[in-house]
Each structure stands twice: as structure tokens, then as C-alpha cells.
Amino acid sequence: MRNSVRLLASLALLTLIVSQANALTPQDMDACFKGAPRARLDGCRKIIDDKGASAAVRASAHHRRGMTREEMGDAIGAIEDYDTAITTDPRLAAAFNSRGSIYLELYEPDRAIADFSEAIRLDPRLVTAYVKRGESFAAIREQERALADFDAAIRLDPGFTNAYWHRGRSLESAKETERAIADYSTLIRIAPDDPRGYFGRANVHLKRNNYKQALADSNAALRVDPNNVGAYDLRGEVHRAEGRLDDAIADYSEAIRRNPGFAHAFHERGVAYRMKGDRERAIADFQAVLQILPIEESREELRALGAAESAPAKPAGPSVLDLLK
């Protein structure tokens, strides 16, 4: 009997020690929600494994861990955590919003729209959900619904730059260029260090053949962000449109140097080489495009030049990338 009592006391003491060892600390909470990525994973795991934590707390930890996994490039793991967060706390609007964002990145717009809609139902003031749902509608060419969501986001937060950027793009698609320019100009006023406003406005000016304004805005975008390959590509188009072919080729080459997989820059540089009469380099660029993406315009250029879609194999000699050096 005495031995049984001692055994029970020992088990109780062991249980208390284990419980105290596994107890959450303020440091665990801070690690999950504020720490560096690896520390966040560990801190969130401790919260998730703590049976004493409330469902809301565990759901938030799953959501935070999902965001960390997404940040680290683990989309599948992130979705698993968002799924569990939603199952644990179906009222967690942020988890629907985060899962919808991954579906949007994976080009699953219908699933993304469903998640963003639920996030908005749960939290009608969640601005990012309106913008992301608008992006999803734009992806399936439902521009009116996209514009309605961007409008709603701007009403909720008139200083939210992403809303102006995406609304400007949708207005461009709808050929409402004056309104698009207005949105890009507002973006520039709110965030003068954000290159998107200059880039978007330059693109509209280029489409309207306003080359002087397009060049000024392209230059402004590159002053703000010298690594903006899209701005080099766009400025190259402006130079080419005004007949400055060497300047255009220089800008396309810089875009390619910074992003060797930039198919559009290869294509546009090929056009510039063709306009200069440099058939060999033009063919090389159009063939390089088809190694990256099956762009029909590049195929048509090669047919017009009487060239094959791929360069013949050579035992030695410079590659297309060598020509860029």
C-alpha cells in the first residue's frame, strides 16, 4: 500500500515537471509572432502543441506559421497551416485572406475569390482582401467587379497604394487611360519612392504615343529603383519608337543582364536588331525567346527572317548569353 502511494506521488510529481517543462513562456509567444523565421517556426510549434492554449490562440499560431512557411517558399506547408487555422477557428478572417493570396499566386482565381469573399464577410474592413479579390477578378477579365473592389478598398483606406496600382492597371485594360493616369499620379503623390506609379504612368503615355512623358516617367522609375528591369524594357520601347535604336538595344541588354529569363526584353531587342539590319543578332534573340516562352510573335519574326526556331548545334563558339556580354 505504502509503495502504491509512493508510486502515485512520483507519477504526480513527474507529470508536474513535464507540464512545467512544456509550459508556454512569453518568449515562445514573442518568437512565434515577432521572431526570425526559424525562431517563429519553433515558437509557433510550441503554442500549437500546448493543449492548454485556446482554440483562437492555436489558430493564430497556425496562421503565423503558415505565413512563415510561405515566406520561406513552402506554399504547400503554408496552405496546410492555413487550412488548420480555419478548421480550428472558422472566424479567423486573416487565415482566409492569406490562403486566398496563395491561391491567387498559384493562379486558382475561383478558390482565391471564395477565400477573399469569406474574409470580407468576416471582416468587412479588411482592405487587403478587397484588393486581392479585385486582382483575382482582373485575372479572369471581370474588370467591372475588379474595379468595384478597388474602389471599396480606396474608400476604406484612401492611402492604400496597392489599390491605386491595381485599379490603374484595370483601368488601362478597360482603355480608360485618363483615369489610369490619375490613379498612377495619386500613387506617385502618396508614395514618391514607389517606382510602380512612374512605371504605370510611363506605360500609358507610351501607348498614347506621348514619348516625352513616357521617357521622363521611365527615367523617374529607374532613379527610384535602378534594378527595375521592367523600366529598362519600357524605356527601350520609348527609344525604339523614336528611332534611337542603339539606346533601345542598350536598355534591353541591361534588362536581360539583370534578368536573363526576361523573354519580352529578348524579343524587343530582336526587333531593334532587325530594324538596324543586324539579321544574325535578331535571329539569336528571337531563338532565345523560344527557349524561355513559346511566344508566337517571335516565331513569326523567325519565319519572316527565314530562320529556324532553334539555333543549330555547334561544337564550340559563343552562346546567345555570350553575345550579351
- pLDDT, one tens digit per residue, over 179-238 is 999 999 999 999 999 999 999 999 999 999 999 999 999 999 999 999 999 999 999 999
Cell numbers for 186, please give them.
495619386
CATH class held by domain 227-311+318-325: mainly alpha
What percent of the chain shows pLDDT beyond 70? 88
Q: Look at residue 275 and tell me whether its pLDDT is greater than 80.
A: yes
132 contacts 104 by C-beta, under 8 angstroms: yes
Please state the domain extents for the chain. Answer: 227-311+318-325
For residue 266, the one-letter residue type is F
Burial of 43 (C-beta count, 10 Å sphere; 0-12/13-18/19+): buried
200 contacts 169 by C-beta, under 8 angstroms: yes
307 contacts 286 by C-beta, under 8 angstroms: yes
The residue written with cell numbers 520609348 in the block is 238
> CA-CA distance, 32 to 44, in Å (whole number)?
5
Cell numbers for 325, please give them.
556580354
At 317, the pLDDT band (50, 70, 90 cuts) reads very low
Q: Look at residue 146 and tell me whether its pLDDT is greater than 70.
A: yes
Cell numbers for 230, please give them.
521592367
Q: Look at residue 45 and tell me whether its pLDDT is greater than 50.
A: yes
Give the closest residue to 46 by CA, choosing from 64, 61, 59. Answer: 61
pTM to 2 decimals? 0.82
Cell numbers for 48, please give them.
500549437
